[in-house]
Amino acid sequence: MTNIPDEMFDVVDADDNVIGQASRHEVHTKGLMHRSVHILVFNSHGRLFMQKRSMEKDENPGFWDTSAAGHVDSGEDYAHCAQRELREELGIDCTALDEIMRLPAQENTLWEHVRVYKCVTDRDIRINESEISEGHYWTLDELTETINSTPVIFTTTFHLIFSQFINKF
């Protein structure tokens, strides 16, 4: 597994208030609410970089997902986590990260309160192969067509993000 089993996360309530801490294993095993970020990385041509999750991941292995994503560590804030995940997974820094939406914890987010950020950059992406098996840019039309024809290849969280993103823009 690429994930460290003793990572510590803040456990939160339905309103995203911290009520305790627990290990990665415990929050996933018990379905405790916790926090995550997802980042949509667009290039200047409006194409969205998508990652295919490594088969070694403990959640959604082999599924297509947002450009970068990850759990917010205990004591970390969402914005710092988003910057960290961009560096760890894609090898890029994006100083202009904009929060574009929030999703409440629910079954389809795996009980994660999710903050979604958008970044526009033409920097070279260097995927972290321990986290991502492959990645490439998609047009929004290509994504819509693939989601409609083969929805099972995408994570449930991505489905929520994409459906709300399309309705916003």
Does residue 76 lie within any of the structural domains?
A: yes
Is 131 part of any domain? yes
Looking up residue 79, the CATH number of its domain turns out to be 3.90.79.10
Q: Does 65 fall in a domain? A: yes
C-alpha 102/C-alpha 61 separation (Å) is 24
> Of the candidates 80, 86, 106, which has an alpha carbon nearest to the alpha carbon of residue 159?
106
Residues 59-70: pLDDT tens digits?
889 999 999 999
pLDDT band at residue 71, thresholds of 50, 70 and 90?
A: very high
Average pLDDT over residues 63-81: 96
DSSP 85-135: HIIIII----S--EEEEEE---GGGTSEEEEEEEEE--PPP---TTTEEEE
What pLDDT digit, counting tens, does each position of 20-70 carry? 999 999 999 999 999 999 999 999 999 999 999 999 888 889 999 999 999
pTM (two decimals): 0.92
